[in-house]
Chains A and B, each alone.
Chain A
Amino acid sequence: MNTTSTYTEAMARLESIVRQIESGEMDVDALTTQLKEAKQLVALCRQRLTTIDNEVKKILDDNDEPNVKEN
């Protein structure tokens, strides 16, 4: 699934930010920017886990299968 790569990349970026912050390598000036980015990444990943992409719904609708279920 191509959306997996976006998710995987977002998680990888998130893990790298956490590592940087935890190791104390991060400049205090950069902290705010990183925190903002991290927050966006968390929201993106959480959304990916809890909703089904409209694009996917459309593909499934196009399949014209009566058995598509989505919760």
Chain B
Amino acid sequence: MQSLTLYELNTYVRRVVESHFDDTLWLRAELAEVRESRGHCYLEFIQKADDGNNIVARARGQVWANTWNFLRPHFEKTTGQRLVAGMKVLVEVRVTFHEIYGYSLTIVDIDPTYTLGDIAKRRQEILNKLEEEGVLNMNKELPLPRLLQHIAVISSASAAGYQDFCNQLEQNAYGLAFCTQLFPAVMQGDAVESSIISALNDIADQLDTWDCVVIIRGGGAAADLNGFDTLALAENVAQFPLPVITGIGHERDDTVIDLISHTRVKTPTAAAEFLIQHQLEELTLLNSLADRITRCTSERLRTEQLRLQRIAQQLPSLFTLRKSQEEQQLQLIWQRATHAISTRLTQQQHRLALAETKLKSANPEQILRLGFSITRLNGHALTASSQVQQGDTLTTTLAHGTLTSTVTPSSP
């Protein structure tokens, strides 16, 4: 039986490959991994099935340093982004096969315009759908509870990021208490969507226990972020009744759920920091209220003391002032009273003098002197001729002397 050594076989394959691919060709593929090492850039290309989830092809590739040195600035200048996993690219490649390293693609050129907006376009489609459904900003619009203490964490138990998150919370320097519970989920690959939705459902069963949900992920190839860019997951997060805090994406790339979550941070540590900061603000507010109460109360008491002191000091002089005012008043009243009395006396004297004069003029003697006389019958003064009869003896008093007369019939 004829057989080949591995080297012979690989050499044969290499020759076949080289003879069939003697020229470069343009390739459309998605990047699953981008890694730089000693100036070279190592890539992993994938192609997904039309449903967008299952991978149907995979190949390794590399950009040698001399090419990478000018391709990289060219790509970054055009797209404004670094070449990262998850991107769809159009690259000019040479197909190679190496006896030791096997099949790989050597990149000689890249067309950045192809990549532009490709992932963004997919994410935008999901965001548009959420907007149509009217749920795009639902989670963002939830008010953050004043206490973010009971934290439901969706992560992978083994993820370094989850440990970082817990450590950061536990070691907060302010004595703030946090209570976390892990709702384990797969954070990479195709199971991300169903696994996170299931964890969200578990949390939803105990809504009263939790203040917020934190979804964090630490490490892993960035291409795995694709699992976070699905419509069903986005719909679940957007409509979740508790605020969702995410730390999933990386520096330059936000997943859809980062975009629709209540708060997006970059790392699990930053998520913990966000919670600590939120609680610290409450603690600071509380301390400041306590300070203000203490300060205001003592200020108020001091003010009252000063007021009392001032009043006590003013009392003697106020009393003196009041006393002299009263004395003046009394003096005034006395003056008015004496004046009134003397006025009244003078008036009475005048009236008396007047009465005296009147009395004088009414004296009968005075009247008799004027030539009037008084005629009496039996001692009674007469005022009418009808009072006398013929023969009566009348006595008439004059100013000087008295006449006696007898009544005779009057001549007609």
Asked if B208 and A22 sit within 8 Å, CB to CB, the answer is: no
Asked if B149 and A52 sit within 8 Å, CB to CB, the answer is: yes
Docked CA distance A31–B299 (Å) = 12
Minimum CB–CB distance from A2 to chain B (whole Å) comes to 6
Asked if B285 and A11 sit within 8 Å, CB to CB, the answer is: yes
Docked CA distance A49–B146 (Å) = 10
Docked CA distance A57–B177 (Å) = 12
Contact with A along B273-305 (1 / 0, CB 8 A): 000000100110110011011001100110010
Docked CA distance A51–B181 (Å) = 16
Residue A21 contacts which of B176, B181, B297 (CB distance < 8 angstroms)? B297
Asked if B289 and A15 sit within 8 Å, CB to CB, the answer is: yes
Q: Mostly helix, strand, loop or mixed at chain A's interface?
A: helix
Asked if B176 and A42 sit within 8 Å, CB to CB, the answer is: no
In this assembly, does B270 line the interface, its C-beta being within 8 Å of a C-beta of chain A? no
In this assembly, does B405 line the interface, its C-beta being within 8 Å of a C-beta of chain A? no
Asked if A69 and B145 sit within 8 Å, CB to CB, the answer is: no
Asked if B181 and A60 sit within 8 Å, CB to CB, the answer is: yes
- Which residues 5-40 of A sit at the B interface, judged by CB distance below 8 A? 7-8, 11, 14-15, 17-18, 21-22, 24, 26, 28, 31, 35, 38
**In chain B, what residue has the closest Cβ to A38?**
B293
Query: How big is chain B's contact interface, by range?
Result: 35 or more
Assuming the contacts A50-B176, A63-B181, asked whether A4 and B145 have C-beta atoms less than 8 A apart, the reply is: yes
Q: Taking each of B166, B170, B292, which has the highest tally of chain A beta carbons within 10 Å of its own beta carbon?
A: B292
Chain B residues near A4: list those with CB within 8 A.
145-147, 211
Docked CA distance A57–B209 (Å) = 10
Minimum CB–CB distance from B145 to chain A (whole Å) comes to 5
Chain A residues near B145: list those with CB within 8 A.
1, 4
Contact with B along A52-71 (1 / 0, CB 8 A): 10001101100101011111
Docked CA distance A4–B148 (Å) = 9
Asked if A56 and B179 sit within 8 Å, CB to CB, the answer is: yes
Q: What number of A-B contacts does a CB cutoff of 8 Å give?
A: 111
Assuming the contacts A1-B149, A24-B300, asked whether A60 and B209 have C-beta atoms less than 8 A apart, the reply is: yes
Contact with A along B286-326 (1 / 0, CB 8 A): 10011011001100110010000000000000000000000
Docked CA distance A35–B297 (Å) = 8
Interface residues contributed by chain A, number (CB under 8 Å): 38
Assuming the contacts A4-B146, A18-B293, A52-B177, asked whether A71 and B211 have C-beta atoms less than 8 A apart, the reply is: no
Docked CA distance A13–B181 (Å) = 32
Asked if B179 and A68 sit within 8 Å, CB to CB, the answer is: yes
Minimum CB–CB distance from A48 to chain B (whole Å) comes to 7
Chain A residues near B178: list those with CB within 8 A.
52, 70-71
Asked if B179 and A67 sit within 8 Å, CB to CB, the answer is: no
Docked CA distance A37–B146 (Å) = 21
Minimum CB–CB distance from A9 to chain B (whole Å) comes to 10
**In chain B, what residue has the closest Cβ to A3?**
B147
Minimum CB–CB distance from A22 to chain B (whole Å) comes to 5
Chain B residues near A15: list those with CB within 8 A.
289
Chain B residues near A28: list those with CB within 8 A.
300-301, 304
Asked if A45 and B180 sit within 8 Å, CB to CB, the answer is: no
**In chain A, what residue has the closest Cβ to B153?**
A67
Minimum CB–CB distance from A17 to chain B (whole Å) comes to 7
Asked if B150 and A18 sit within 8 Å, CB to CB, the answer is: no
Asked if A22 and B296 sit within 8 Å, CB to CB, the answer is: yes
Docked CA distance A7–B149 (Å) = 12
In this assembly, does B169 line the interface, its C-beta being within 8 Å of a C-beta of chain A? yes
In this assembly, does B175 line the interface, its C-beta being within 8 Å of a C-beta of chain A? yes
Asked if A49 and B279 sit within 8 Å, CB to CB, the answer is: yes
Docked CA distance A35–B290 (Å) = 10
**In chain B, what residue has the closest Cβ to A8?**
B146
The 8 closest A-B pairs by CB, nearest first: A67-B182, A71-B170, A21-B296, A42-B290, A52-B179, A38-B293, A4-B147, A4-B145
Residues of A near any B CB (own CB < 8 A): 1-4, 7-8, 11, 14-15, 17-18, 21-22, 24, 26, 28, 31, 35, 38, 42, 45-46, 48-52, 56-57, 59-60, 63, 65, 67-71
Task: Beyond A45-B286, A60-B179, list 16 extra A-B contacts (CB 8 Å).
Answer: A1-B145, A1-B150, A2-B208, A4-B211, A28-B300, A46-B283, A49-B177, A49-B283, A50-B175, A50-B177, A52-B150, A52-B178, A65-B181, A65-B182, A69-B166, A70-B177
